[in-house]
Structure 1
């Protein structure tokens, strides 16, 4: 088995391997690609000066559109808005209007960010400027209402209103709506949209059916999913690798490995072959279920199919050896992977180092770190965090503190959370505040939900309940974490700190978060678990209930996030 895994490493690895430590797999269901029609070129201007002016405008518009798309991919929506505003100003001076392609770029950026009101406003401004929307314009609105806001009635309204603008719904329009309905579990309605598009003479494509396959898989209706795939074949729309991977992933999640083998065999009988992603999904599931030997067997199968491994494939193979404590083979694999470079090698080492760290073998982690350094492999942030955690396990807290405070490597919030946790664990409470100051003021790293949870739990363990409650109140400036609240309530209930519980609940209300019944249900469960249902504690429980549900208190049936009542 080692020889087969080693043979895998002899294959050339793709140079574009992902730097992720988790997976190189692409998203299961990418958004349907809807090509945008070309914009008709303006009629040639009679004068050379006018032609030059038009040419300059078209070049400016093209460059701005490319820049807006790049900014949108980077998540900088405000810059997209600002750049479009500048383009709009230049357009007004030239006496023209931005094209529908530029408007679509802005619309899509806003829709992806969930800004429904702004998206609608820009669309209306586009109409007011005399720019005719195309199918992509409406598809963006359908995606907004079907994927982001789940306002399906508005999605239907947009589709029905397309013909009023001389635009015919295309396969992307219907497929986008179907995807949203399937994500919401409305499979019956999705079938209705499929019938609708067929009635309109629009032929479904593979990305129309695949969301329905995934919807059935989410429900555990694997037989229906298989039947739909068979129907796709007979309808002249054969499933692609994404469709099969949706089914394979769902079967793996349900540990139906015999059926996975059937699907893989079925793909081959149809003249296709499973993709590397298909095998990665299968191998990863087998490995996580402790079936390392069977997972490694897939290496030979992949090799026989002529498939190239990815960084994630190597990560799975290494995990299999680590799970069975075959560390000699692990080191052998790493030594044979000298042709790997960059992020691929770092991911491989991270996999092994993380497993050794989990087993408490911190000295072995240091040895691998030294080996990385000798090979000139550049570690990433995750590598540093594994090293930090390993040193903390080994009790080398002073070394960790010096590494971070002297900024030997770029620490992130995970780094600081790890150190703060171990400070509490080793009783070094006085060091926590110093590290928090360094984290927020020197490194400019904002605490997250995990940070607050570690601190609240640590303070409660020391009996500093007022400080723990204040820390929870401070966390609300970011968001309401149910997990953090549960930790706090459990600690307070265990120490009979009813007053602090009420303070925390009142602060939730004061900050404008929705008061939903789940918060109170979990609170009552924690209280009763600590024995407050006994006769001797009934007064405390009654006092708490009055504070939660007394006069003037309103409780909503479900939590919708943050919002003023």
Structure 2
């Protein structure tokens, strides 16, 4: 609704008085503003609720897919799939090709290839035409996830027959899958087909082939491919050069890496943080830590900041060259030199200090980390528990386990169970196991092995067998079987050993050569392989082989 004409006329009159004195103009303008404010305001126009468009859903699905596994494995893909179902069932809207493609791509990235194929099939069942992007997702599922290349080729043939031209992304995806399966010659054939069809490759097309050459140690072929790309006018990306630099570092060809970096500007590519981190890692592993630190200045001059991976490589290099003590000192003065270290860097040095059996230094470094406001993670606490146990501070380790700030995982619990068992505190070890299960942390093979070993130390062989039987629900634990075999032989329980092997075979599991090797080693350590006792070893192995 427009304003009344009178105030507008007065406003125009004010504009005509622009040459009047300033004070007079301000007074007239204030009077006009007051008059306008007293006019009734037009009511807001009624708005109709808009039905969500597939475009809105696709944007939300893409956001969930991009969030990845932030809220758990495959959480983003599951939410994208839920939105797709919501469109089809609750709203009665037919999703478009982009929605189906986004959901299928998210499921494929979350390692759910069967679900991704089901989404593409649902798209066809709904009568939604597939485009090049949807077909490319299906090619990626078959080639990169399932390695079903016949099915991937069939999709490409269907595209050509139905007027959906495969693009550079389609061919690059197929080449990537072939290279990951070691079928490089076939990938080169797809590259030739691509060129015949007039589809121009890019850096993403060549990089998987370059990676395959480098992994196989074919540095000459990788260099030749790089020159072919440049000659044909296809500019290699920084990722392509990073693959080649990693291979050159593994081969110790650091002079060639220097040449590549010096020629980077002339060849139109820019080294990134990954480039320098890769080079530093190769230098540190070769014992050339000084040159690695010299590269930090080069990075900074290029406007690049070392990230946590870069710092971790340098800290690890210091530990390799000298001692973890030097790395510890570097961490403690990190703020003074402008390094932004995190928990991963501290964990690396603490782990190295453990290797040097400097348990007290680990504790002090942990305290220093907490004082800096860096939050520890489960790996930190596992290292800390291991160090406390090595110092004989089992009670302190148990108290740490009960603190609210403590973030424990199965590795942490296994560490504590092992040390409690070795210290003869079997009852405490069982309590820790019970607490671990109550907190929803699933025991792994190492846990089973530690519990069986603890029971065998107490001579509770039948209890150990019973525990092993319960743990077989998730498959045969070779480490747990090895523990009970050692315990039975150490306790001279050869009849029980024979019963155990028969029971394992009866469950459908295979007694492989590694288990026989474990049995022979245990016999030898017990002394059965000397003189007259040797017949017991031969007799047991013969019965086992006959039983098998």
Bin of the TM-score, shorter chain as denominator length? 0.7 to 0.9
Which residue does 2:442 correspond to in 1? 446
Change in CA separation of 1:477 and 1:237 when aligned onto 2, cut-off 3 Å: farther
CA separation of 1:270/1:80 partners in 2, compared to 1, >3 Å: closer, same or farther? closer
Matched, 1:82 2:78: no
Give distance in 2, aligned partners of 1:128 and 1:405: 55
CA contact (8 A) 2:139 2:155 kept: yes
- Gaps of at least 5 residues in structure 2 are 1-44
Within the candidate set 112, 120, 125, 2:122 is matched to 125
Alignment equivalent of 2:329, drawn from 328, 331, 347: 331
Q: Distance in 1 between matches of 2:489 and 2:248?
A: 42
Q: Does 1:501 align with 2:498?
A: no
Equivalent residues, number: 487
Question: By how many angstroms is 1:503 displaced?
Answer: 2.5
494-503 or 480-489: which moved more? 480-489
Q: Distance in 2 between matches of 1:329 and 1:471?
A: 44
Say if 1:216 and 1:225, in contact at 8 Å, map to a contact too: yes
Task: Write the distance in 2 (CA, Å) between the matches of 1:227 and 1:189.
Answer: 18
Distance 1:200 1:485, change over 3 A: farther
2:275 aligns with 278
Contact 1:492 1:498 in 2 (8 A): no
Sort the Cα spacing of 1:455 and 1:292 in 2 relative to 1 into closer, same or farther, 3 A: farther
Separation in 2, partners of 1:55, 1:103: 19
Which segments of 5 or more consecutive residues in structure 1 lack a partner in the other structure? 1-47, 510-514, 549-565
- Do residues 148 (structure 1) and 145 (structure 2) align? yes
Partner of 2:515: 523
8 Å contact 1:472–1:504 — kept in the other structure?
no
Segment drifting more, 349-358 vs 209-218:
349-358
Q: Are 1:280 and 1:313, in contact at CA under 8 Å, matched by a contact in 2?
A: yes
Q: Over residues 63-96 of structure 1, what are the superposed CA-to-partner deviations in whole Å (9 max), with x where a residue is unaligned?
A: 652465257554124444333222211342xxx4
Q: 1:158-184, CA deviations, whole angstroms, 9 ceiling, x for partnerless residues?
A: 111113443111111111111111111
- Structure 1 residue 199: Cα displacement: 1.4
1:170 aligns with 2:167: yes
**Aligned-partner Cα distance in 2 for 1:54–1:132:** 26
2 CA distance for matches of 1:504 and 1:268? Answer: 64
Residue 56 of structure 1: SS of its match in structure 2? Answer: coil
Determine whether 1:295 maps to 2:287.
Answer: no
**Structure 2 length-normalised TM:** 0.78
- Between the aligned partners of 1:250 and 1:463, the Cα distance in structure 2 is 53
* Cα deviation 1:173-228 (Å, max 9, x = unaligned): 11111111111111111111111111111111111111011111222211111111
Label 1:109 to 1:467 Cα distance change in 2 as closer, same or farther (>3 A): farther
Pairing 1:547–2:547 present: yes
Match of 2:226 among 221, 224, 229: 229
Of residues 105, 109, 112, the one that matches 2:102 is 105
In structure 2, the partner of 1:397 is 394
In 1, distance between residues paired with 2:209 and 2:293? 32
TM-score with structure 1 length normalisation? 0.76
* C-alpha distance in 2 between matches for 1:438 and 1:544: 38
User: Quick one: distance in 2 between partners of 1:60 and 1:301?
Assistant: 46
Return the index of the structure with the highest Cα Rg.
2
